[in-house]
Amino acid sequence: MNREAVSISPSDGPDSGGRWLGVAARFTGPAELLAAAKRIKEAGFRRWDCHSPFPVHGLDRAMGIRPTVLPWLVFGAGLTGAVVALLLQWWTNAVAYPFQISGKPLFSLPANIPVIFELTVLFAALTAFFGSILLNGLPRAIHTGTTAAAFRQVTADGFFITVDAADPLFDAHRTSDFLRGLGAAEIELCPIPEGSTQIPHAVYWGLAVIAILATLPPLFIARARSHTLEWPQEKPRIRIIKDMVVQPKLKTQQVSRLFPDRLGMRPPVAGTIPYNPTPPDWEDVRRLETGRVGDQFVTEFPIPVDMDLMRRGQERYNIYCAICHGLTGEGGLYDGMTARRARARGKPLWVPPAALTGQSVREQPISKIFDTITHGVVREGRHSMPAYAVQIPPRDRWAIALYVLSLQRARAPLPEDFGTDTAAAALSGPAGAATHDLAAPPQGNASLVSQNEQSKQSFDQGTNYEHRTIDGQHQFD
């Protein structure tokens, strides 16, 4: 450290700035710094600052620094973050892309609170961080003290006060003497560094170019994403990251350079034999899987009808169908958990499920019921009942259709059903010979219907309806 530079040469003459950035005075400790800061404030200096290697308690008050506006900025930013988070979630969840998740309302405050909390903290923290930097006048290319040789001590054990030359009271000699009078251990005038202290224009130009270049990747991504919005889509999406969707593969009609005959499609290896020696009767398979012969609905079951199939049908029905159509197949507003829930909430959000025991369904051929289970019901371009082909294999669909027949028969019994043992006789016919008419109601279904009437009443009175599933299960047991 060059101690010679510290002293002021008398040949400098009276000087009120121009040659100096200001003056730096070193004090021996925090207490001396505090005392000096009070005196400088009292002397009326405006553009001066204290520097210490660690925060000195009470310095703010000694320097007369007014309370900062930063807390209010942070508070406002926090509030803004909270409101932004709330609006963002309300708009995305309830307006732009309404999608029900686990039965919660589309706009539901508890689900939004974590994001509100996070954005509040984020906005407030960023404001506190950048706000304190900007309010402190940073970044700054040059600071008064930094051209003084002794000033580097400030990061170790130096306690400094700098007075800017721009202060109206500044005078190189008188201010230095004043500081020395305050007990400064060392006084150093801070020279103006050689050359320009301005930031070169090239830096600004460079930053501008970088800023423009930085917008290109997001623009490209935006273009890549947006042009697939056209419908029908003609151009493929531009894939910035080519993941497994894009991979080398050989399709049937393509040319292959691998094989001498340049065919992508390979003939079976010589000596290959068919796996299934006896080809199936495709007509039977089609009847089982579609319920049709040509364009016609079949009117008979393509599989043997027996009590096992009926039991299977009841079980599958109670699993897949009863939730909407009800255990009795009555459907409507009273039967079925979904309809009852919609009613209980006072919001029939969907079309009431059809009554399977009603006249129109009763008159359908058996394979029409099968067909409905397979493909669902499309009304006004929307699935009012989804297709169950994926969940329920064909055999089970026929079993459900059989059970639906029994529900219908229970609702609208034939005269002979009131005789004894009729049902048992009807079902004990030879396997495979059962027709629509033979699908008689199993025992107990009449009582099931009357039970349903009771439950309608009990539901209207607001009592619970939880245990009826169990009753329904036990009808055949």
Our CA dihedral for 402, 407, 408, 414, rounded to 10 degrees, sits at 100
Taking the least distance from each CB to other proteins, the nearer of 78 and 145 is: 78
Q: Which residues does 73 contact at the CB level (< 8 Å), separation at least 6?
A: 127, 131
Per-residue three-class SS string for 21-84: EEEEEEECCHHHHHHHHHHHHHHCCCCEEEECCCCCCCHHHHHCCCCCCHHHHHHHHHHHHHHH
Our CA dihedral for 362, 368, 373, 378, rounded to 10 degrees, sits at -100
Minimum separation from the CB atom of position 103 to other proteins (A): 7
Determine how β-strand 377-379 pairs with β-strand 296-297. unpaired
Taking the least distance from each CB to other proteins, the nearer of 132 and 290 is: 132
Contact between 465 and 340 under an 8 Å Cβ cutoff? The reply is yes
Minimum separation from the CB atom of position 278 to other proteins (A): 53
Residues that bind other proteins (CB under 8 A): 57-61, 71, 75, 102-104, 110-111, 113-114
Q: How many CB atoms lie within 10 A of CB 17?
A: 16
Minimum separation from the CB atom of position 61 to other proteins (A): 7
Taking the least distance from each CB to other proteins, the nearer of 110 and 236 is: 110
Bridge partner list, 379: 382
Taking the least distance from each CB to other proteins, the nearer of 41 and 395 is: 41
Taking the least distance from each CB to other proteins, the nearer of 60 and 315 is: 60
Minimum separation from the CB atom of position 114 to other proteins (A): 7
Taking the least distance from each CB to other proteins, the nearer of 65 and 425 is: 65
Minimum separation from the CB atom of position 105 to other proteins (A): 12
Enter the tokens of residue 2. Answer: 């060059």
Taking the least distance from each CB to other proteins, the nearer of 65 and 285 is: 65
Minimum separation from the CB atom of position 85 to other proteins (A): 15
Q: Which residues does 385 contact at the CB level (< 8 Å), separation at least 6?
A: 324, 353, 372, 376, 377
CA angle 17, 22, 28 (to 5 degrees): 145
Phi, psi of 278 (to 5 degrees): -110, 110
Minimum separation from the CB atom of position 143 to other proteins (A): 23
Phi, psi of 387 (to 5 degrees): -75, 135
Minimum separation from the CB atom of position 164 to other proteins (A): 24
Give the number of residues written for the chain.
477
CA angle 330, 289, 329 (to 5 degrees): 5
Taking the least distance from each CB to other proteins, the nearer of 64 and 393 is: 64
Angstrom distance (rounded) from CA 67 to CA 69: 7
Sign of CA dihedral 264, 269, 275, 279: positive
What is the identity of the amino acid at 429?
Answer: G
Taking the least distance from each CB to other proteins, the nearer of 113 and 263 is: 113
Minimum separation from the CB atom of position 160 to other proteins (A): 19
